[in-house]
Amino acid sequence: MDTLTSILTFLQGAGQGGDQLVMTGVTFGLVILIFYFLIIRPQNKKQKDAEKLISSIKKGDKVYTIGGLHGVVAAVNEEKGTVTIKVDEGSSTTLEFNKSAIAGLVNPPVAKKEPVAKKEKAVKKAPQADAAPAVEEKK
């Protein structure tokens, strides 16, 4: 009989431990989700935007490098993955950089928003035949 009671007591304790294990797992899962949405996802978005910027660079774009150098793109060499930047208008000084050294555009194009056309409400009036306007008299 003592053995049976000790086994039942042991199983009751194991049941409570199982609840703690589930709560620990749920808490750990929530931490992973928060970490993903606050750190990993925004970083991936920034990386995709940077890749899009680098692939869209063309001659004539005003850019700046990760070193802070400003200039105008004079040429793009897709085979070597480089960009030639004209940094001085007077002496036509040019420098060649890797495309990955471009940090951004000086004046990035802004997405044009089309004006939302307001729907005009057409008010249809019933034709009035020989109807005189009603006039109220004040007394």
Provide the domain count of the chain.
2
Domain range holding 89? 58-105
Query: What pLDDT is stored for residue 99 in this prediction?
Result: 92
Judgement on whether residues 48 and 62 belong to the same structural domain of the protein: no
Report how far Cα 101 is from the mean position of its chain's Cα atoms. 22
**Which residues of the chain fall short of a pLDDT of 70?**
1-18, 109-139
Instruction: Write 14-21 long-range contacts (CB < 8 A, 24+).
Output: none
Distance (Å, whole) CA 34 – CA 21? 20
Query: What pLDDT is stored for residue 39 in this prediction?
Result: 92
Judgement on whether residues 49 and 64 belong to the same structural domain of the protein: no
Residue 98 belongs to some domain of the structure: yes
DSSP 22: H
Query: What pLDDT is stored for residue 90 in this prediction?
Result: 81
Distance (Å, whole) CA 104 – CA 57? 9
Residue 131 belongs to some domain of the structure: no
Judgement on whether residues 50 and 62 belong to the same structural domain of the protein: no
pLDDT digits (tens, 9 = 90+) for 7-21: 656 655 555 566 788
Query: What pLDDT is stored for residue 12 in this prediction?
Result: 59
10: which 2 tokens?
């042991």
Judgement on whether residues 23 and 37 belong to the same structural domain of the protein: yes
Is 101 in contact with 67 (CB distance < 8 Å)? yes
DSSP 105-138: ESSPPPPPPPPPPPPPPPPP----SSPPPP----
Judgement on whether residues 6 and 50 belong to the same structural domain of the protein: yes
Half-sphere exposure of 114 (CA within 13 A, CB side): 3
